[in-house]
């Protein structure tokens, strides 16, 4: 990543991150910054369409090892379990889909 891209990424994370408590990936209840993203969940059959997909972007440098399904994070007092993960080398981050 170029220096100007790293600087822009740092600015974005500073502006949009919140502190979460993370357990897993070599951490035990440690506060780290994360950017919360929320989107509509994939369509499903049945009444209603109100499910939301919640993803947290966490910098790779903030986790000592690779995150795993089942890791826990607490955001605004709500405990969430990691149910999917994507390594995003283009932005030096992990995208972690969680279930509350």
The CB density around residue 91, as the number of other CB atoms within 10 Å, is 15
H or E stretch including 11?
helix 3-16
Task: Give the domain CATH number at 22.
Answer: 2.40.10
Per the structure, the complete domain to which residue 39 belongs is given by 3-43+51-99
- pTM to 2 decimal places: 0.87
The total domain count for the chain is 1
- Opening angle at CA 11, ends 5 and 16, nearest 5: 125
pLDDT digits (tens, 9 = 90+) for 36-95: 999 877 766 666 666 788 999 999 999 999 999 999 999 999 999 999 999 999 999 999
d(CA 24, CA 69): 9
């Amino acid at each position: 990543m170029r220096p100007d891209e790293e600087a822009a990424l740092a600015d974005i994370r500073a502006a949009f991150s919140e502190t979460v408590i993370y357990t897993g990936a070599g951490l035990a209840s440690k506060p780290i910054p994360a950017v919360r993203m929320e989107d509509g969940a994939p369509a499903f059959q049945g009444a209603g369409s109100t499910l939301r997909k919640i993803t947290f972007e966490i910098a790779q440098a903030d986790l000592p090892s690779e995150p795993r399904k089942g890791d826990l994070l607490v955001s605004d007092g709500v405990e969430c379990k990691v149910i999917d993960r994507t390594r995003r080398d283009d932005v030096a981050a992990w995208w972690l889909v969680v279930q509350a």
